[in-house]
Structure 1
């Protein structure tokens, strides 16, 4: 019995550790190389998650907080992206209400309310981030990497300005990181095999 318990615990710990490592690795991939060291502006793009109904869900609340903690500069702008993919109100509007009302964010904030997929999120925010010296895409780490891959495909000139966001934190979302890693790695493999998003 003790062997079964020990084996099960070891397997669970290994799985949780694997999920953590995959997210950490993803947070460092597909970043730009031509980012100006002393650029004065940055755009933090927060990608919405399918929100059913007219109340912001837990995932979108977390993504807004991760976006806010990714702001490094006074000239930073928060760009919230997401249409009404799962409910009545666009995800970007729900996230904007949360950023302003609950989190107390008072800086520059732009919303993009038409997107229904990650490819569209990236495509539709391009006019809102073209002038930024530094660009951060915020979501869980593998989804953010997927968005960075899409920006490299759609606008490689802008992708050279990609810098690391603060969406990865050790232990955060620990129990679901393995599932998110499996889904994320599958999606990244699909991107690598396809010629479009």
Structure 2
């Protein structure tokens, strides 16, 4: 009886902690999705949607890359003036993330729209630098990943090409209640990234 009570208390505590982390992550992602944007309205004209890849060890797109591709496609306007830019090199596997994402978009989702690839990037900074020639034509630009990562990428575009960053608008990668465990992990990772950046910028 005592062991059952202890198990129940542990489960209840775990549920409370998970719920608190989930709410925290949802709020953090929502706030990130609104930061580092330009002054464009996001309607009309041509659009480029940049989807940032995640390390992929296998020969098919992993869960995170599949989600990002779906979020990228739903971020595109229903016109012929949109281009999906898939960005990511072979960081963790033999095949570039961009290629794996394109295969998923074409063969699994049946996407028939225009796609451009950056299959060389090995960091977020390179993602942005290598995608600049592919998005310069666009009237508005969206960057899709998990929201904290997309915020960092938008920050890098402001640093590299502020003229293009002024065209940044929100993508549709953040929806409440989607991929909550991954949002929690991404928020924790973003905190660690920011902490390391602060330490590097202000060493003791």
Give the alignment's TM-score, normalised by structure 2: 0.87
Question: 4+ runs of 1 displaced by more than 2 Å?
Answer: 1-12, 36-39, 185-195
Partner of residue 147, structure 1: 153
Partner of residue 69, structure 1: 74
For residue 24 of structure 2, the aligned residue among 14, 18, 30 is: 18
1:41, 1:134 within 8 Å by CA — same for their partners in 2? Answer: yes
1:41, 1:73 within 8 Å by CA — same for their partners in 2? Answer: no
Partner of residue 46, structure 2: 41
Quote the offset at 1:10 in angstroms.
2.8
Quote the offset at 1:17 in angstroms.
0.7
1:122, 1:147 within 8 Å by CA — same for their partners in 2? Answer: yes
1:32, 1:159 within 8 Å by CA — same for their partners in 2? Answer: yes
Quote the offset at 1:131 in angstroms.
1.0
Distance in 2 between residues matched to 1:38 and 1:180, nearest whole Å? 29
Quote the offset at 1:100 in angstroms.
1.0
Partner of residue 164, structure 1: 170
Q: Give secondary structure in 2 for the equivalent of 1:115.
A: coil
Matched length? 194
2:42, 2:140 within 8 Å by CA — same for their partners in 1? Answer: no
Partner of residue 120, structure 1: 126
Tell whether 2:76 aligns with 1:89: no
Quote the offset at 1:7 in angstroms.
4.5
1:123, 1:154 within 8 Å by CA — same for their partners in 2? Answer: yes
The CA RMSD measured in Å over matched residues stands at 2.0
Q: Give secondary structure in 1 for the equivalent of 2:116.
A: strand
Where do 5+ consecutive residues of structure 2 fail to align? none
Q: Give secondary structure in 1 for the equivalent of 2:181.
A: coil
For residue 174 of structure 1, the aligned residue among 176, 180, 190 is: 180
Quote the offset at 1:38 in angstroms.
5.1
2:143, 2:150 within 8 Å by CA — same for their partners in 1? Answer: yes
Distance 1:125 1:193, change over 3 A: farther
Distance in 2 between residues matched to 1:4 and 1:76, nearest whole Å? 50
